Structure 1
């Protein structure tokens, strides 16, 4: 089976990746709020269902709905894998988020981008230049410095915190499998078609567990957060899926490692503006140095183009 080749429009791939970073970076905050009012299954079901309906309407109006009868058997298998893995990622991440904190969950979920990058190198035969490998080293050092306090808390914590962190790690692993399957599916379908089918399949998976009637009882704030989470799913995953069309998976994954920076900055802003909503994260000078290293390493990997 031939492997997917990106379009080479790396600037567009970078822009889409940065949009994904921003949306994924602020998502844990909204999820932390909505999980105070709704169960995990209903939140996941609603996000997938709304994304499926809106994307189906959009594609239908444009006459771009997928032609399912023309799909080869291999594509159906990849769709099944991608759907199951993305659904599992949502479940494990949100369960872990409910038991830990937005910053901790966003730190640990970055294992997904590292695994995606490794998969891009191994499966799709992508290559890093020396500058990019140096960037990997800088990136790792930056995370060790930046998240020193969080990692120390993880090591010394007990009970539900450690269990929740373990769930996020599992969620990161299955997400990498989803992303690699998604990239290969671009051989058979456009990225909007792929996401529409995955959203629909995942919504069906969670339908038996969801409690739609509880949504009608929500107050304005949690309802607004729920709608935002659904739209976030549609836009962020659409941008991510399209970025894989134009850029190498290993480089997309490098940019996605910036999401925790967005999360921590957002948590600080929310804590200042609405102190009762989410507790603030303590960021020291050492942490800021780590943040600079993370940004520098990510950009070195993402922009260190190979000389053809």
Structure 2
């Protein structure tokens, strides 16, 4: 009797186990299918966001050069919060912002552009945005009045040696009213730490960037150094013309320094009569030039040579 029952129990157990395995396999398959659908949906959402968003991302980097002199609108006679500042950091930038200081003659930025879409992305051009030079007269800049002729400031030392990367180098003559498109900068452009405080900046501008353009495939990236030079008081922004697929758009690029609000930048001219001078006292802080000192407040201008023949 017992022997007759054993096969029945065994076969019954096998049948139950096989049923369990089948049910479990079905559930696992359904879970895997559901997980696959979720992944596909997430990927679709990601692709949709890329398609509906900007065709490129722009990431700022350390600028290729830093200003060697700033000028204030007003002449100051109180050193205030920067008296003990020994290096160029947040405290010095906050003071520059509060004083609405402007760099003299030259300003530069570095940023990396990365293509986000499947379509080939073409960087067509760069141009100045909302350029304003209130004292320009038909491009002639001699003997013009200026707002920025107060205290001249030589900044304290800046830590770090900078980075040297492969990049496209562009430039603008900001003070030239009909030069709003970017030009390629001639080899020999200044590098971080390579400009002496009392040495004239020299910028050599070649053909327009628009005659070259840059093509990027998805996830390709390109780094740009952009120099803004000029001998007038000017404020300005920067735009980039990008084509991706059948969409052509102008994108504003944030070029604002740490000492300015907004997305733009500003310059003041050199070779002017300044009220007085604030400079570093190595290891101690910032000081006014002592009374009777032979050191005069001087900031060089910028010498710009442009290729006016090549479009």
Which of structures 1 and 2 has the bigger CA Rg?
2
**Structure ranking higher on relative contact order (CA contacts 8 Å, 6+ apart):** 1
- Larger helix fraction of residues: 1
User: With structure 1 as the length reference, what TM-score do the two structures score?
Assistant: 0.23
